[in-house]
Structure 1
Amino acid sequence: MADQSFRGVLERLEAEGDLHTVRRTVDPRFEIGAVLGLRQFDRPQLFADVRGGAMPIVGNLLNTRERIARLLGMDRASLPDGILQALRRPIAPVMVENAPVQEVVHRGPIELADILPVPTWFERESGAYVTAGVIVAKDPETGRRNVSIARIRLDGGGRVMLGIAKNHHLNIIAEKAAARGERLPIAVAIGTHPAVLIGSQMYLGLGDDEYDVVGGLLGEPLELVRCLTVPLEVPAGSEIVLEGSIAANETVAEGPVSEFHGFYVDYGPGTGGVVTCVTHRREAVYQAILPGYFAEHCLLGAVAIEATCCDALRRVVPSVRRVVVTEGGMGRLHAVIAMHRPRLGEGKRAAILAMGQVNLFKQVIVVEDDVDPEDPRQVEWSLAARFRGDEDLLVLPGVKADRCDPVHRDLTVAKIAMIATTRPGDGERGSRSELLDAPAEISARVRAEIDTY
């Protein structure tokens, strides 16, 4: 088995010169977030001296597509297909008996703030939030596992509040447990391999195990270890694990909280929970993801959403080649679909299917696959060269919106699609859209001999 540990990821980044260590003392209350949000600190940052905390904090690990690909053992160009292959060729996890994440054990009355250096991120938020915690739970009816991420606020002692949307699978299975008069056991893994973080964000069906997709990303089974006090399994390579339970019928006030669009929102009360055991490695490192409209938060969602959407679209419209969820669109709301020689009407069909597949999408641009969907300049060129507003603009008013859309009104929003693809005859010799080039044989020779220039 390859090194699946978070510690191994940090060691690799340091060996490659891609991990910057901040030596000065930093305060987890607002200061760490302010530093991570600066452009000059956009590579991974390890805060070695955290005021009041026994653990260093690391952030900004997965804030570029290039680094995500590299840490998954892929190159940038192969990342989209690599994630699609993981979805289509999942690998079930395996159990190990012991793991370093259980070297240190805290039981009994827990004071999380004394164990973990959890940052407070933004001025109006009501407390310190765990933002890179991968939450593991099991459906009390089926025993099937769910792996996801939700914000977790420290509420004193071992008490926590989880911000979980009503339609999220974790809330659905928590409500199942509450209907049976039970609390839902959970485990929260902090400091995990990038494959675990990305796998946890996949839009799978209820009952599908995200750990299987993680195995597909790794190219081998994910190693799990059993928790000490709850009937759950967590990645053996984790740095820290919280064990406890939540209750769907135990609501806790939250107040303003940051969201991916960069604004405060007030979603009402969250779900109450309690942590009764904490385990971690000796000299553990605490991982944090800067929430709000920042690259790591946006990209983690984007690369997972675009992969599951592309997989779904290809099953219906085989000419779809890529789906890119843009960072400008907050990693959630805007998508570009690249298609290979779509027939008339196929671009509109793909756009409508995408907006149905991903409720968050409200702007979709469809281009041909001679355009790089990750390059905003090329996408805009395609709009200028191939889009006719009276024929190629779709406006769908009053569509059901996600609660986190910043401009929804009564949970509805207008969705638009722009189809910037060619028509029959476009590009042919003598047409207005004939692409210019040198003679074919000259272009081919220049490309073949490019290094000699």
Structure 2
Amino acid sequence: MASQALRHFLTTLEADGQLHRVRRSVDPRFEIAAVLMERMKGDAQLFEAVEGHSIPVVGNVFNSRERLATALGAPRADLHRFILQALRRPIAPVMQEGPAPVQEVVHDGPLDLPSLLPAPTWFERESGPYITAGVIVAKDPETGRRNVSIARLRLDGGGRIMAGIAKNHHLNILADKAAAMGRALPIAVAIGNCAQVLLGSQMYLGLGDDEYDVAGGLLGEPLRLVKCRTVDLEVPADAEIILEGELRAEDRVPEGLVSEFHGFYVDYGPGTGGEIGCVTHRRNPVFQSILPAFTPEHCLLGAVAIEAVACDALQRIIPSVRRVLVTDGGMGRLHAIISMHRPRPGEGKRAILLAMGQVNLFKNVIVVDDDIDPEDPTAVEWSLAARFRGHEDLIVLPGVKADRCDPVHEDLLVTKIGMVAATRPGDGAANSRSEFALLPKGVMDRVRKTIADY
């Protein structure tokens, strides 16, 4: 069981000495970003005095696997298994009875979002302030099934917003469906969420599958929801801030350059316009932001979700798969390591191909035996040096469809690479060039038990 409120976790972090309060005045235009960038691997940062605003900003909250495990209430060593189990054992949400904390204060239109919300302007060539940790809720206008996701939202003055959404993003599909029916797509945006809601929103589920169910699985109990005031949607009752409004697929809004997870600027063309008509929040809300670009929190939240979905899919077909890790160096998106228990000949290559088919972003996948810790880069490199035979174990797939955010794609094509660096039948036998050099077990056990005496 875990708290469903971000503020409760911030209290836990502060008690553990992992929350730093920035009390001096900071400019939301670039200065917040600079502090978060300088401290991106350290304590969570709570900016108490944001110029022009009464609402504080918090960032760098979930910037390590250790921090994420603490937030989820999972042992660090079992984080991957914990998330995988939640994915396989979803729990449906329930409606909140009585008043919800997130609706204590109500702002009806007309609104001026840039004045109301302390959204940072992140990088010098971006075109305005962005909400980067807003969980967007929508429903399929045909089926009524819910979709929960995150996309960047630019504040364009008044109640206007611009959503940066890829064409294959489920939210974009729903907006297109609504446009074909001659109407806008109602949305709600929840800001200031617990780790379970954020992580659930990042799961690569099928269209029509409810990410709130995965959040419940991560919580170990149903996520509590409350009905929005002006749109037919349900939002986390314990969030900090809710925006209620709509997106219009036909309203194409220029965006210009924007930062992406690889750290470069990209220009994806026009975004989708929308309007927010109502804002509700707690009496003393906290505005949660995720520092975008190639930063730990941005990359990690995507990585742990992608690796769980990929591992679940692989294990259903290849039981010897033990784990999938999406690496930090691979930007939390593009590189993966698959741990397998003594894969049979050809099985490692099959796992690579299946992983690339499951996750379009993957373009470099390494298979290691489960005696290698995939989180240890030295151990993985050792496995490549000791077990990888280039003429047999290398897969090169040129001209494969890439995601639009891959930094080196050409006409949406990239070359994908797989490497199998795992043991084989017979490895470890005497004179096989893969027999480990070991001490006598009795001596090793005795010294291990009495090592403090040495």
Q: TM-score range by the shorter chain?
A: over 0.9
Corresponding residue for residue 75 of structure 1 = 75
Q: In structure 1, what is the Cα distance between the partners aligned to 2:137 and 2:370?
A: 38
SS at match of 2:85: helix
- Amino acid across the alignment from 1:407: V
SS at match of 1:254: coil
Q: In structure 2, what is the Cα distance between the partners aligned to 1:327 and 1:40?
A: 14
- Tell me, yes or no, if the aligned pair for 2:161 and 2:274 is still in contact at 8 Å: yes
Question: Any residues of structure 2 matched to 1:38-437 within 5 Å, and which?
Answer: 38-39=38-39, 42-96=42-96, 97-437=98-438
Q: In structure 1, what is the Cα distance between the partners aligned to 2:90 and 2:443?
A: 45
- Tell me, yes or no, if the aligned pair for 2:41 and 2:296 is still in contact at 8 Å: no
| CA positional deviation for 1:3 | 2.8
Once the two structures are superposed, what CA deviation does each residue of 1:169-222 show, in whole Å capped at 9, x if it has no partner? 111111111110011000000000010000000000110000000000000100
Change (3 A) 1:41 1:84: closer
SS at match of 1:33: helix
Change (3 A) 1:452 1:159: farther
| CA positional deviation for 1:452 | 5.8
Q: In structure 2, what is the Cα distance between the partners aligned to 1:342 and 1:241?
A: 48
- Tell me, yes or no, if the aligned pair for 1:103 and 1:281 is still in contact at 8 Å: yes
What RMSD over aligned residues (CA atoms) do the two structures have, in Å? 1.2
SS at match of 1:181: coil
- Tell me, yes or no, if the aligned pair for 1:36 and 1:42 is still in contact at 8 Å: no
- Tell me, yes or no, if the aligned pair for 1:66 and 1:76 is still in contact at 8 Å: yes
- Tell me, yes or no, if the aligned pair for 2:372 and 2:379 is still in contact at 8 Å: yes
Change (3 A) 1:450 1:358: farther
| CA positional deviation for 1:2 | 4.9
SS at match of 1:37: helix
- Tell me, yes or no, if the aligned pair for 2:302 and 2:333 is still in contact at 8 Å: yes
Q: In structure 2, what is the Cα distance between the partners aligned to 1:299 and 1:2?
A: 20
Q: In structure 1, what is the Cα distance between the partners aligned to 2:453 and 2:300?
A: 38
Q: In structure 2, what is the Cα distance between the partners aligned to 1:229 and 1:449?
A: 68
TM-score, normalisation: structure 2: 0.98
Once the two structures are superposed, what CA deviation does each residue of 1:402-423 show, in whole Å capped at 9, x if it has no partner? 0000000000000000110122
- Tell me, yes or no, if the aligned pair for 1:190 and 1:240 is still in contact at 8 Å: yes
Unaligned runs of 5+ in 2: none
Q: In structure 2, what is the Cα distance between the partners aligned to 1:141 and 1:449?
A: 68
Q: In structure 2, what is the Cα distance between the partners aligned to 1:449 and 1:319?
A: 36
Unaligned runs of 5+ in 1: none
| CA positional deviation for 1:42 | 2.3
- Amino acid across the alignment from 1:391: E
| CA positional deviation for 1:441 | 2.6
SS at match of 1:419: strand
- Tell me, yes or no, if the aligned pair for 2:136 and 2:151 is still in contact at 8 Å: yes
Once the two structures are superposed, what CA deviation does each residue of 1:114-165 show, in whole Å capped at 9, x if it has no partner? 1100000000000100000000000011111000000000011000000010
SS at match of 1:195: helix
| CA positional deviation for 1:451 | 5.9
SS at match of 2:11: helix
| CA positional deviation for 1:445 | 3.7
SS at match of 2:67: helix
Q: In structure 1, what is the Cα distance between the partners aligned to 2:94 and 2:2?
A: 13
SS at match of 1:125: coil
Q: In structure 1, what is the Cα distance between the partners aligned to 2:235 and 2:178?
A: 20
Aligned-residue identity in percent: 71
| CA positional deviation for 1:228 | 0.6
Q: In structure 1, what is the Cα distance between the partners aligned to 2:418 and 2:101?
A: 50
Q: In structure 2, what is the Cα distance between the partners aligned to 1:450 and 1:52?
A: 59
Q: In structure 2, what is the Cα distance between the partners aligned to 1:70 and 1:450?
A: 31
Deviates more, 1:206-215 or 1:31-40: 31-40
- Tell me, yes or no, if the aligned pair for 1:59 and 1:290 is still in contact at 8 Å: yes
Number of aligned pairs? 453
